[in-house]
Chains A and B, each alone.
Chain A
């Protein structure tokens, strides 16, 4: 099946529609909440939480014996939250740093989860197969009710986001000020963290433990490059996330042997790369162009300044001089001279140049701004 067939089938095929809708909603909610994670410099918290959710899934299965995805998700949520608060405890109460705390919780919880999973596999219970889909995710196992759950959570999340918009925003940018204004920062903080954990847990079934952090980060990191406004960033991140979901599903469905999770992550990575290079304000390409333009302008001005120094010594400022006398000064080429003439700062005739009144005035006031500053 190629991509065109995929989009034709999208409206008729039940499975394809469910999966696409699921990944799109997931991408949107992850992008939305990921913006907060990125701006709060908690990017890797997502990675730690998604790993920390694994033992919860295994324990929920061990206790209930049922493979109902909702129960497993609650298990994942609880263990993800325990992991998050333990990380916070380690950071605030001991001298271990954030990175160590994240790495510790990530690997220790995941290892414990693996112990439980292998333990479950040895149990005489035919029901246990399929738990390992949470490791790498299988979008194909998404059911309509899973997508429904995702949409409900997204709805609640959106509602809370709008309700606490100003609190979230102020906490994000100035936590101390928020506290002095009398907001309950602890509550807002826990609320944001709770929703981030929730989004991660929802995504486990689709993209898996290992790649979940990228779902959270990549759309937000891409959106950050295009705007300096929080609201725009969140909307953009949601759009990027949803599109990564749809394109990723499309590509993986149109090829054999391509699991959805990694493809979605790679599509999101392409979004990030594109944004890094081509965003007008912060992008590398435009930054380089601006940088070069500034350098050229500076060189032009340096040449003008040098000429000004020569012209100053003559009574008639438009007295022509040989180009040769500029030779001591390395900053000019034939091209810069022509540029200067284009700007009407000098006139060129043969091997001689002469300063115009405009150029003289310009050169005189070149550093005026700085003089005023002093």
Chain B
């Protein structure tokens, strides 16, 4: 690996970690789309900042653009507060308008601005190592590494200082106000950090990758765990993994690095979405099928308790009476028999003692219908699940 290659990967990793941390909270607070809105609406801030500073990496520009990001959030909330439109419509109205202003500003001053809308949206990580930070003649490394590094350090510091405040205000707004932690301060603090991160990262990786790096690792982690600390670690891990794999994919295909990092994130998300242990698609579908069979089983047992006459309990009768397809009735019958809840003699089904006990409890559950008692009951009675 050559030195620019290492530097590019290092920048990608730092950006990934810096994005993953606010991303987790955005996803948990159901504000993931705010990051998308901010990433677009900072454009006028960047353009105006660029007119003033003439340097894309100047801290003043980052500050100006970040303020635009916070203004976006305030605007969205102001529109929402009027009650004229819903929150998502408010977001959808504000950021295209601001983005359009940015595009027009660039277009009108195209001759004196070396700034390109494509560059802002897409970024080019491959060029990042060429813009170096020189301090009294000594080469200190790529500028964007320093910028993102300082943003990461500040984010980490804020995270460690305010972890419990963030946690409580994310999960229980009422409790956090009662404890004297202002949810509004936390909200705007998080918004400011996200805004600064987006602005710092747009130059290196582009606005869209910032959104992907904020939302995707957090969403992946959320599918894998329900513990905030673990979720943060997992999302940072996935961010870093996608940064490295994405870089080499881009190297191999000779294509955009930010695009390929996003693609890797997409593949990772698809895998987790399908195969996550308890919350993945396959496991959810399996569980739904299981529960459907078990509900049918309970219905079937109730039917048996209600009817003592043999004609109602004949196996062939079930198909027409409860209107089940053949396969389903067979599955249900097998399950009931495996669990020793019924016995079948001469094609006539009758409840065993255990089956009676279970049915009575299930009936009681259905009448009172409190909490998730039925799951414990299933654990107690079932030898085999549906």
Contacts and interface: CB of A to CB of B under 8 A. Distances in A.
B208 A213 contact: no
Interface stretch (A22-30, A86-94, A157-165): A86-94
B262 A111 contact: yes
Contact of A214 (B31, B84, B92, B117): B92
A189 B122 CA distance: 34
Contacts of B100: 211, 214, 261-263, 265-266, 269
Given A132-B118, A135-B121, A225-B84, 11 more contacts: A44-B91, A99-B32, A100-B32, A100-B219, A111-B212, A210-B96, A214-B100, A224-B85, A258-B107, A265-B97, A269-B97
A94 B262 contact: no
Contacts of A329: none
Contact of A217 (B82, B93, B101): B93
Interface stretch (B59-67, B251-259, B311-319, B376-384): B251-259
Contacts of B259: 111-118
Contacts of B285: 93
Contact of A93 (B82, B104, B117, B281): B281
B212 A262 contact: no
Contacts of A102: 32-33
* Interface of chain A: mostly helix, strand, loop or mixed: helix
Which of A46, A99, A119, A266 is the most central at the interface, judged by chain B CB atoms within 10 Å of its CB? A99
Interface stretch (B2-10, B136-144, B265-273, B321-329): B265-273
Interface of B: 27, 30-33, 35-36, 40, 79, 82, 84-86, 88-89, 91-93, 96-97, 99-101, 103-104, 107-108, 110, 117-118, 121-122, 208-209, 211-212, 214-216, 218-219, 222-223, 250, 253-256, 258-263, 265-266, 269, 273, 276, 279-281, 284-285
A243 interface: no
Given A38-B85, A99-B30, A106-B36, A111 B96 contact: no
B212 A107 contact: yes
Contact of B211 (A94, A103, A114, A276): A103
Interface in A77-113: 89-90, 93-100, 102-104, 106-113
Q: Top 5 nearest A-B pairs by Cβ distance? A: A111-B262, A115-B259, A214-B96, A262-B100, A114-B259
Contact of A221 (B35, B93, B262, B281): B93
Interface in A1-51: 38, 41-44, 46-47, 51
Nearest to A102: B33
Contact of B284 (A41, A94, A265, A269): A94
Nearest to B268: A108
A225 to B, nearest CB: 6
A263 B284 contact: no
A210 B280 CA distance: 31
Contact of B107 (A112, A114, A217, A257): A257
B281 A89 contact: yes
Contacts of A104: 32, 215-216, 219, 269
A193 interface: no
B271 to A, nearest CB: 13
